[in-house]
Structure 1
Amino acid sequence: MRLSVRLLAASALALSLAPPALAQDAATIQRAATIRDAAMSQNIALDYVTQLTTRFGARPAGSKSEQDASAWAADYMRAQGFQNVRIEQFPLVGWERGVESASIVGDHPQNLVVAALGHSPGTNGVIEAEVVRFDSLEALNAAPAGSLAGKIAYVDAGQMVRMQDGSGYGPLSRIRGAGPAAAASKGAVAFLMRSAGSDEHRMPHTGTTRYVEGRVPLPGFALSAPDADQLSRLIGLGAAPRVRLSSTAHTYETVSQNVIGEIRGRTHPDEIIVLGSHMDSWDLGTGAIDDGAGGGITLAAAKAIAESGRRPARTIRVVLYGSEEVAQPTDTGNGGGAYLRNIGTAVEKHIIAGESDFGADRIYALGLPPGAQTSDFARAAATVLYPLGVLPSPRPELHGGVDIGPLAGAGVPVFGLNQDGTRYFDLHHTADDTLDKIDPKQLDQNVAAWAALVWLIADSDVDFRAMRPAAAAAH
């Protein structure tokens, strides 16, 4: 049986079982199901991410390739019928990797495969020093002041735990963010860590580290998993390895930008639904799963609604945010912060926001804002999404993601269409983040889920702010 036939049959069954409270929404639900099924055969998402990654390759934040890709994306939006398409620039400190190398020297000479952490300074020549290993960030923080003077701090917290929801990433990304400053506070001259990834390939995972008082205090590097194992084994054998590090990484002043386009609302155009993703990527791959796919998904979902034969009541605004990946000397929120500052008091008319930034594998759960879990809207969404294999999550969505985080902080409700992240951190921030890793069928399922859910919100008067429990609304 073809998938579209199965979807129609499942949709009909789900509609027949809908509770009586949804009777007044039957037409909206039926149109959502129609949009969902049509979206399963679209090719805009794959076309977008194919062109983006092929034409521009990697798109580091603030680079010419990110700027050129944003100009192209604005033209792409216009060609697809989006309205009010615009580019909004904001200042940024950019970062270039330059040339890097690492090796063990002395009694056990061998090369290491590393990637400098984003916004780390260069080594200003070569750093060669003894390595001191820690099994956690906490252990590094507990080291006596000055105990690492002239040495390289190395944190190996073990392989990332592979989880469908990606929750194994947080403990290692925390090391990446805080590790260099912790190492510097103990007198170290450089910082090494096991890559924040779930794979065992000899490809390091890069990612940004944090600024402290306007600067990243010392050079930081991520080791590929096999090289982290190798270095830890040597230390376990009683060796005191010395490592030689070299990096020409540097920062520079530049600009980044958000690309914005809309499907204008029919009757309430001032009420805004934001669909977010980010344009920038790390420099090692071509940014297909992180996050070219997210841009393709949100653009395609909005276009599927526009092509349904009826414009929604509310405006759907697609935002391709700039510079999501990098830290800055001051916390401006990068693209998400710039967007919030530019809209001013119009934030009160933002109904909800969602972000697609977790690859292109299938969606398995829907998270709604606090208070919406048992609402009529939640039941309508469950009816429409169930044929795609998407189930309601009992946990409310609170934060959304990095790009829409500033909106959430300003009180805008957020939703999450949770993707299967089982393999995401095999590829994330590596040279293996390339177009061939996208499964077109799973990409289509994403678009269908986004289109159906967003239609239900956009052609309704649902008020997620009013559903919030009193305690949640107070924050």
Structure 2
Amino acid sequence: MHRPSLTLLAASLMLATGLACAADAPTTIPAAAVQTAEQLRDKAMHDDTAYKLVEGLTTEIGARLAGGPNDPRARAWMIAKFKALGFDKVYTEPVTYPLWVRHSEHGAIVAPFPQPLTLIALGYSPGTPKGGLTAQVVQFPNLDALKAADPATVKGKIVYIGERMQRYKDGRDYGRIGSPIRVAGPVIAEAKGAAGYLLRSAGTDANERIPHTGVTGFKPGDKGIPAAALSNPDADQLERVLAYGKPVTVKLDLDCGIEGQYTGANVIGEITGSKYPDQVVAIGGHLDSWDPGTGAIDDGAGVAIAAGAAKVIHDLPQRPERTIRVIAFANEEMGLWGGRAYAEKHAADVSTFQLGSESDFGSGPVWRMSASVKPQARGAIEQIAKVLAPIGVAYDPKRPGGGGSDLSQMHGKGMAALSLTQDGTYYFDWHHTANDTLDKIDPKQLAQNVAVYAVFSYMAAQANGDFGSAPGAFAHDGAEE
């Protein structure tokens, strides 16, 4: 056996020790990059690129239901805008998903007091039989009560749950209403033999007779049952009628359902890094929207914020050291299809992702930042936090960072991620409704978001060291996004 010389052994040990020390060295952001980030912040606070983008998207395209008539138009529009902004590379990656269509929806109380109901069909709901579905309503106070119900009390009836969503700055009550009651509720009701499903809209508006749509938990291939959301005033009305103690009959007439498959695409624009072009800071939003409104706050704003942040970085005299990648995701609304497709395609490359975060909570000012990064990168996060503090962003070191809706999928693969929480006090007044329109966006608040994304993206791109992205790195961080 050949034995290496002592000199070679010593050199090998020194190299191994050096690599280990480099891996354990703290990630830091150079003083020059901090200074540039402060300048970016101040410039972005007065930049109108994002507002012009969301204004154009909602005016020239409007509603962008995944797979709908405006879907290809929105993609072409986004490609053209990325190119006009001067991104070095603009491309698409295909995303295939079930094509759910909405034609019409109607509802009414038939007895004991006949009157119409204002409602909207939910995503992946099947349609009613020709001529509609007429059945007695059975009410449950919450999802747990439905879960515990004897199927005999549900069979052949329309299940109704009227639990009301509460208003919070961080929108946390949506996790109690939006996901369990709207997504899981119809599936549970179907399993117990229900003929249909109604819920009080997952929204915080009390007086607007405008229902909030959203997706159910039905999967492709499921038979499903017709499912719809009532506006808050109509839910109140139905509950008053039910309070009389008489049998209440409702007719649903929904013309909707899955009609095959559709292939859309994630639209991606990049500013190529000058030193580490294969290392990526990922930001974005989702390009699709629900169809009643024009998709301004959900999520035209998010796409515009990310693109606007990249544009102010692009306009610096020197390119960032790492690549800034802006992703306009496809079909987030009906199941994170774009985010999941992206994560599946790029899972093997997760270690090249420096840091990521997506904007998908409207356009209210960012007020809280949290992070899931390796311990050695906490100091760099604190540096970012110091630059953001003057514009109202507080760093919570105890909370994980989930990366936002679609980028949560890359975070799940091991991407280091931030959560940049916006003020959502009024977001759920308009979320998934016909009131999701441009007038809900304050240009100054939108610009603050751009400043936040520009600062963190640039500072991450310039960092000495990484933030800990690796396969499975944050599997148990507790992030909910």
In the superposition, the TM-score normalised over structure 2's length comes to 0.89
The offset of 1:468, in angstroms, is 12
Quote how far apart the aligned CAs of 1:370 are. Answer: 4.4
Q: Does 1:53 align with 2:61?
A: no
Is contact 2:63-2:293 (8 Å) kept?
Answer: yes
Given candidates 85, 88, 93, the residue that maps to 2:98 is 93
Residues 172 and 364 from structure 1, CA distance in 2 versus in 1: closer, same or farther, beyond 3 angstroms? Answer: same
2:246 to 239, 244, 247: 239
Structure 1: runs of 5 or more not aligned: 1-20, 328-332
Q: 2:299 aligns with which of 262, 267, 291?
A: 291
Q: 1:223 aligns with which of 221, 230, 236?
A: 230
Alignment of 1:44-443 (within 5 A): 44-125=49-130, 126-157=132-163, 159-173=164-178, 174-200=180-206, 201-212=208-219, 214-215=221-222, 217-252=224-259, 253-327=261-335, 333-343=336-346, 345-371=348-374, 375-443=378-446
Q: Give the SS at the match of 2:281.
A: strand
* 8 Å contact from structure 2 (residues 29, 462) kept in 1: no
Change (3 A) 1:161 1:121: same
Deviation at 1:380, TM superposition (A): 1.3
Q: CA deviation at 1:348?
A: 2.0
Q: Deviations over 1:2-51 (max 9, x none)?
A: xxxxxxxxxxxxxxxxxxx9998321111100011111121110111111
Alignment correspondent of 1:454: 457
Contact 1:369 1:468 in 2 (8 A): no
Query: What is the distance in 2 between the residues matched to 1:389 and 1:22?
Result: 25
Looking at structure 2, the residues matched to 468 and 368 of structure 1 have their Cα atoms a distance apart, in angstroms, of 17
Structure 2 residue identity aligned to 1:152:
I
Q: Distance in 2 between matches of 1:76 and 1:206?
A: 29
Task: Say whether the 8 Å CA contact 1:370–1:467 is kept in structure 2.
Answer: no
d(CA) in 1 for partners of 2:347 and 2:455? 29
CA gap of 1:305–1:25, structure 2 versus 1, over 3 A, is: same
Letter of the structure 2 residue corresponding to residue 184 of structure 1: E
Distance change >3 Å, CA 297–CA 239, structure 1 → 2: same
Q: Shift of the alpha carbon at 1:213?
A: 7.1
Q: How many Å separate the matches in 2 of 1:381 and 1:468?
A: 25
- What letter is aligned with 1:448? A
> 2 CA distance for matches of 1:323 and 1:163?
26
Whichever of the two has the greater Rg, that structure is 2
CA distance, structure 1, for counterparts of residue 95 and residue 215 of structure 2: 19
Classify 1:471/1:37 alpha carbon distance in 2 versus 1 (closer, same or farther; 3 Å): closer
Tell whether the 8 Å contact from 1:59 to 1:286 is kept in structure 2 after alignment: yes
Q: How many residues align?
A: 449
Name which of structure 1's ranges 431-440 and 229-238 shifts more when overlaid on structure 2. Answer: 229-238
Identity of aligned residues (%): 43
Deviations 1:107-151 (A, max 9, x none): 311111001111100002211111010001111111112322221
**Alignment partners' CA distance in 1, 2:97 and 2:459:** 37
Check the 8 A contact 1:373/1:394 in 2, yes or no: no
- 1:49 and 1:372, CA in 2 relative to 1: closer, same or farther beyond 3 A? farther
The farther-off stretch of 273-282 and 363-372 is 363-372
Alpha-carbon shift at residue 344 of structure 1 (Å): 5.0
Once the two structures are TM-superposed, the CA of residue 426 in structure 1 deviates from its matched residue by: 0.4
For residues 216 and 56 of structure 1, do their structure 2 counterparts lie closer, same or farther at Cα, with a shift above 3 Å needed?
A: farther
- Structure 1 residue 237 displacement after superposition: 2.2
Shift of residue 378, structure 1, vs aligned partner:
2.5
Is the 1:120–1:216 Cα contact (8 Å) retained in structure 2?
A: no
Change (3 A) 1:277 1:216: farther
C-alpha displacement of 1:469: 13
The separation in 2 between residues aligned to 1:347 and 1:469, in whole angstroms, is 9
Q: Is the deviation greater in 334-343 or in 128-137? A: 334-343
Distance in structure 1 (CA, Å) of the matches to 2:201 and 2:477:
39
Distance 2:36 2:300 in 1: 28
Q: For 1:169 and 1:24, locate their aligned partners in 2 and report how far apart those are by CA, in whole Å.
A: 36
| Whole-angstrom CA distance in 2 between matches of 1:277 and 1:298 | 7
Deviation of 1:473 after TM superposition, in Å, equals 7.5
**Contact kept? 1:372, 1:467, Cα under 8 Å:** no
Give, as a single letter, the amino acid of the residue that structure 1 aligns with 2:410. L
Deviations 1:399-440 (A, max 9, x none): 223311221111111111110010000010000000111000
Rate the CA distance shift 1:134–1:412 in 2: closer, same or farther, 3 A: same
Give structure 2 stretches of 5+ with no counterpart.
Answer: 1-25
Shift of 1:261: 0.7
